[in-house]
A and B are shown apart, each in its own frame.
Chain A
């Protein structure tokens, strides 16, 4: 069964450093997403990406965040200058279409900012 994969599973970084989280969506999916979940809180939408551009973003997704699809398979989330409050699980998801189509999640990257 096809699945979304993410690397690394755990990333530890110092405050102010840049991190890049990587995802490989399901191969025939066209819509890609990043969500985050701070420990003990609900899953929150960050950004959606379609046709090589951002289609929607939340207020959390400020100028320190960026996304990219550098090749035909990878989808990345970059945090330019990490803050303590960026510590969370970051989940990548993909779907075949928008709206009603189910989104399938990767196993997540646990980001710890010290």
Chain B
């Protein structure tokens, strides 16, 4: 089983729609969780950390389910600028981040 697993997509959704991404992780000792976004041939940029209680930042909501080892990201009222690859990232409390392969999102005008 992959350490971090994501649906690669692509997701093509119309502007203004709501889109949700899911991610599962295999290591139950994982301690911290993040969503990064990556534009084509650019660096990963931190979108948000994911907390056990769930957290929201504007149009973005992240949820963590430790029992199911599952993380989600919800984007409401999607904008053209949201087109990117969304990376689910996990840390087991040591130095390294473990990345999923990413889910590609394209917002269609």
- Decide: B32 and A45 in contact? CB cutoff 8 A: no
- Decide: B97 and A99 in contact? CB cutoff 8 A: no
- Decide: B96 and A56 in contact? CB cutoff 8 A: yes
Range of interface residues on A (Cβ < 8 Å): 20 to 34
CB distance from A56 to the nearest CB of B (A): 4
With A99-B31, A102-B46 known to touch, is A42 a contact of B94 (CB < 8 Å)? no
Could you say which residues of chain A place their CB within 8 Å of the CB of B101? 41-42
- Decide: A56 and B49 in contact? CB cutoff 8 A: no
User: CB < 8 Å: which of A31, A48, A56, A107 contacts B42?
Assistant: A107
Could you say which residues of chain B place their CB within 8 Å of the CB of A103? 46, 97
- Decide: A98 and B99 in contact? CB cutoff 8 A: no
- Decide: B42 and A108 in contact? CB cutoff 8 A: yes
Does B1 have its Cβ within 8 Å of any Cβ on chain A? no
Interface centre among B38, B91, B94, B95 (most CB of A within 10 A): B95
User: CB < 8 Å: which of B42, B97, B100, B102 contacts A45?
Assistant: B97
- Decide: A98 and B46 in contact? CB cutoff 8 A: no
Q: Which of B66-109 contact A (CB under 8 A)?
A: 87, 91, 93-102
Does A75 have its Cβ within 8 Å of any Cβ on chain B? no
Could you say which residues of chain A place their CB within 8 Å of the CB of B9? none
- Decide: A100 and B95 in contact? CB cutoff 8 A: no
- Decide: B102 and A42 in contact? CB cutoff 8 A: yes
Residue of B nearest to A105 (CB): B43
User: CB < 8 Å: which of A31, A33, A45, A107 contacts B98?
Assistant: A45
Task: Give A45 to B43 CA distance when docked, in angstroms.
Answer: 14
Report B's interface with A, CB cutoff 8 A.
31-32, 34, 38, 41-46, 49, 87, 91, 93-102
* 5 tightest Cβ-Cβ pairs between the two chains A and B: A48-B95, A45-B96, A105-B43, A56-B95, A43-B99
Sample 14 A-B pairs with CB under 8 A, ordered by A number. Answer: A33-B95, A42-B102, A44-B99, A99-B31, A99-B93, A99-B94, A100-B49, A100-B91, A100-B93, A102-B49, A103-B46, A103-B97, A105-B44, A107-B42
